[in-house]
Amino acid sequence: MEELEFRISSGLKDIIGKDLITDDYIAVFELVKNSFDAYATEVTVRFENIEDGNGKITIIDNGKGMNYDDLLNKWLFVAYSAKKEGTEDENYDYRDRISDNNFFAGAKGIGRFSCDKLGSELMLETTKQEKNPKTEVLITNWEKFEENSQEEFINVSVLHETKDQNSFGLDHGTVLVIENLRSNWDRDKYLKLKDSLAKLINPKEARGDQKFKITLEVPEEEERDKDYDDYYEIVNGEIKNFIFETLELKTSKIRSRIIDDGTKIETELFDGGSLIYRIIEENKFTRLDNIACNLYYLNRSAKYTFTSKMGVQSVNYGHVFLYKNGFRVYPYGEPGEDPFKVDVRKAQGYKRFLGNRELMGSIEVYSESEEIKETSSRGDGLKKTDTYEELEEFFWLNLRRLEKYVVEVQKWGLSIEDEEINDLDFKSRVTDLIARLTSSDEIINFHVPDNFLEILEVSQEGSAESVVKNLNKIAFESGDESLIEQAEKASSKLEEIQEARREAEKQADKEKKKAEEATKKLRDQISENLFLKSINTSEYEEVISLLHHVGIYAGTIDNNLKGISLRIQNDIELSSSELKDIIRLISFETKKILNVVAFATKANFKLKTETIEVDLNNYIQEYISNIIPTVTDKTLNIKIDSKTSDQFKKKLKPIELNIVIDNIVSNAKKADADNLTVSIDKKESNLVIKFIDDGTGIDKSIINQIYNQGFTTTDGSGIGLYHVKQIINDMKGTISATNNPDSGACFTLTFK
């Protein structure tokens, strides 16, 4: 039988080169990765003469370089990878001097064809770090491969020269000069390249001795750079990377990693810097080792912090990046890309699931396994193998745990550090979460912080019993002395809780009667409109104003108690869920009353608090989004329509601004409104906030009297809008009221 041989067309160059490199950014990306694999600590990417049409790209590194043998047997050996074959580091200890990481960023042997993606001509000059080195030069015209596809690949020659001196003054390293560029470059494209290179390396790999410096140089943009102060708007300079922890995002985050030679998984959940739990469990992912996942939930405050510190909105920066052997893999984390189908899932349950807009973080993988490799087509991510499927499952395990905390425990709410959320309902949900986690048979070890006992103290007894039972089970099965001590403390605390609860129940009826009597007295006091008009001292006005707001909160409590009473009298069943919602609302209103009373006594009946500077735009959105929904019934639908993301700094007393918003929302409810839209816009140097409802509106005959002290059309005290206007005036603002064309009223607040 006759033996035949394959023939290789010169067209192979395109198939394994520029057809696989999807864009110019990934092409530069690949070449910088090659510099890292050559043990470089510094790489410069320079663009010259772009505007006059003779542009060239020069990439200079201080890596180990190549000699003639390397060029012949490695660089010119198509699709050969010394990294993959394990011959890259023979008799070479340079990597040990700069890094403990023995993994390589690339291992396919096709990255060199990225030069062809950028330009049709290449000059390579390289000097190896060895005794008595020579400088080797290669000149390649890629268009020669394109002239005739019937030409054999190996018959297309490249030019070679050996020199005694390096033209670029390098002791060792490699220089690539790419000319006859295939696409146009401009300032926007340089900035996008800068952003791409900033995300190239896992931030953890850029610490200490593992520093890998990338510099972008575009001389033609230096003069234009002087017009900008923001790093993200300047082209030239060292590429900066960032570490998520340095941003000090006060939000919820989860950290998980596979430990103990791949046998266990350690997971920690934090909220605002406070540890919620730490668990160690059996590793069910048999194909995974040396992997970590860090996910951050970006609430409104975290997004604001990210934007102010990074100079770019988080949604435009990216979401969950994937780093393999320290280098980023495209398209994971790229804005608009969704390789894990996170946004696809969110669309199926918008209020139950997190999406890429709320997530940021990284997945870090260290492996040379063929089961976890990049696709040959750069930009398409990792190969979809069985190991990759386990990697996806590992990511989803952590996302669901973070999601369970944010959605079920926080209810998309504030951080545990925010005073408003430290209530009975929140802490009982934390206890429920830990009870479910500790009941899993896969958990080997479980740690909760010392202040968890404080959470137990106010939690529902049933949930607390489950937690204590499960903690004892885990502790005594593990034999861990510290865990046993922790479980014993929890048991003692539970006994105290149960005894205190029994005593509290005896006092409940007495306290309820006292509260009803106090509420009645308050109503009598604030309803004397004629008396208000006859006495006009500033101190008395402040007292009555405080009592007015106490009356609003007490009225909400009273209405809910009446509703329960009527349903009981008419034998209408009240579900456990409905009862919990009512108790939560009453608890919140009571806290507000206590806060106002405590405030009044400490301030000598004066509306005085510490004046602080806040972003008025962000503060109003936060208060309306996170506080108002917890204290209004579900009949009023509140929507925020923000037309500006600009900061608007203002010095104010938060309690006074809260009073303004509470009054306007309360008036909308009294006017039988179903919907309230809060429109926020910036006009010239003013911030304009409009509260637009669809209620009964304001009678034209009285619209000019509504701010008068004592004036009311209801059974109220007539001081609400009077005091609102006083507060707005003190803040150097104005308030006006108009009726909408169709129905309802519009209150407009304008601040300079």
Three-class secondary structure assignment of 191-258: HHHHHHHHCCECHHHHCHHHCCEEEEECHHHHHHHCCCCCHHHCCCEECCCCCHHHHCCCCEEEEEEE
> What is the biggest distance separating any 2 CA atoms in the chain, rounded to whole angstroms?
120
The pLDDT assigned to 55 comes to: 93
Distances (CA, A) of 299 to 64, 97, 343, 411, 434: 46, 42, 17, 12, 22
Let me know whether 669 and 727 are in one domain: yes
Mean pLDDT (the chain, rounded): 77
Q: What pLDDT digit, counting tens, does each position of 5-25 carry?
A: 666 665 666 666 666 677 888
- Tokens 């009982």 — which residue? 428
- The last residue of one of the domains, among 502, 537, 558, is 502
Token pair belonging to 531: 């008396």
Let me know whether 408 and 445 are in one domain: no
How far apart are the C-alpha atoms of 401 and 387, rounded to whole Å?
22
Let me know whether 24 and 172 are in one domain: yes
Give the CATH number of the domain where residue 331 resides: 3.30.230
Q: How confident is the model at residue 226 (pLDDT cuts 50, 70, 90)?
A: very high
The pLDDT assigned to 247 comes to: 66
Let me know whether 174 and 264 are in one domain: no
pLDDT at residue 140 greater than cutoff 80: yes
Let me know whether 298 and 373 are in one domain: yes
Distances (CA, A) of 444 to 217, 259, 283, 398, 673: 53, 13, 11, 17, 54
Token pair belonging to 148: 């005739």
- The last residue of one of the domains, among 390, 412, 434, is 412
Share of the chain above pLDDT 90, in %: 26
Let me know whether 228 and 252 are in one domain: no
Let me know whether 497 and 529 are in one domain: no
- The last residue of one of the domains, among 391, 412, 433, is 412
10 Å CB burial of residue 277 (0-12, 13-18, 19+) is buried
How far apart are the C-alpha atoms of 73 and 77, rounded to whole Å?
6
pLDDT at residue 744 greater than cutoff 60: yes
Instruction: Indicate whether 476 belongs to any domain.
Output: yes
Greater pLDDT, 123 or 576: 123
Q: What pLDDT digit, counting tens, does each position of 696-740 carry?
A: 998 888 888 888 766 666 655 445 687 788 888 888 899 999 999
Domain ranges, residue 523: 504-602
Window from 146-155, 201-210, 606-615 with minimum mean pLDDT: 201-210
How many folded domains does the chain comprise?
5
Instruction: Indicate whether 261 belongs to any domain.
Output: yes
Query: Is residue 126 within 8 Å of residue 136, measured between CB atoms?
Result: yes
The pLDDT assigned to 232 comes to: 82
Let me know whether 94 and 75 are in one domain: yes
pLDDT at residue 563 greater than cutoff 90: no
- What contacts 248, CB < 8 A, 6 or more positions away? 305
Let me know whether 161 and 183 are in one domain: yes
Q: Which of 67, 85, 84, 89 is nearest to 76 (CA)?
A: 67
Query: Is residue 347 within 8 Å of residue 275, measured between CB atoms?
Result: no
pTM of the model: 0.55
> CA end-to-end span of the chain, whole Å?
93
Give the CATH number of the domain where residue 134 resides: 3.30.565.10
Grouping H, G, I as helix, E, B as strand and the rest as coil, residue 689 is strand
Let me know whether 488 and 519 are in one domain: no
Backbone angles phi, psi at 100, to 5 degrees: -90, 0
- Tokens 């008009």 — which residue? 533
Backbone angles phi, psi at 67, to 5 degrees: -105, -175
pLDDT at residue 237 greater than cutoff 50: yes
pLDDT at residue 663 greater than cutoff 80: yes
Instruction: Indicate whether 3 belongs to any domain.
Output: no
Q: How confident is the model at residue 564 (pLDDT cuts 50, 70, 90)?
A: confident
Q: How confident is the model at residue 244 (pLDDT cuts 50, 70, 90)?
A: low
